[in-house]
Structure formats: structure tokens, C-alpha cells
Amino acid sequence: MHWQIDLIILTFTIFCALAAISVKDLLSTAILFGAYSFMMCLLWAVMGAVDVAFTEASVGAGVSTVFFVAAVFRTSRRTKD
């Protein structure tokens, strides 16, 4: 694990997490949360946990985002905070 790659991806992860909880549109939250999950997947691939990485890529970044977008379309995009 090169610490530079690890640090850059971790910083991106924290930015994605902060953006996902602070935007005022739930569809943007869904997409930023997908980006967060993908950054997490990269982090695990860097750490050598390849099985965890591809499970996260398919299940976390794929299925979760689909669930999220489906739930947002069945409810409202508006949020107050």
C-alpha cells in the first residue's frame, strides 16, 4: 500500500461523505453516496482485500444506488437540511 494513494483516496472518501450528507437534493445524495461507495471499493483494492472490493463494487455501489434512486422516485426529492 503506497501511503500517497491511500491518503488521496481517503480524502476523496471524506469529501464525498460530507457532500452526501450536506446537499439539499436527495437525488444528488444518491449519486454522491454511490461515489462514496466506489471510493471505498478502491480503498479496499489498495489494501489487498480484493474479495471485499468487488463485493462492495457490485453490492454497495451498484445495488444500494439502485435502491436509493428507486426510493427517491417513490418519495420526494425535497429536503430541508
Partner 1 sequence: MSEILPIIVAKYNYWLYIILMMIGLYAMISKNNLIKKLVGMNIFQTSIILFYVSIGYKTNATIPIIENAHGDSHSPHELIIHAADYINPLPHVLMLTAIVVSVATFGVALALAVKIYQRYQTLEEDEIRMRLTEE
> Using the rule CB under 8 A, is 50 a contact of partner 1?
yes
Query: Smallest distance, Å, CB 7 to partner 1?
Result: 7
Which of 35, 38, 40, 42 forms a contact with partner 1 (CB under 8 A)?
40
Q: Is 17 in the site for partner 1 (CB under 8 A)?
A: yes
Output the CA torsion sign for 49, 42, 23, 30.
Answer: negative
CA 78 to CA 69: how far, in whole Å?
A: 14
Minimum gap (Å) between residue 25 Cβ and partner 1: 11
Would you count residue 80 as binding partner 1 (CB under 8 A)?
A: yes
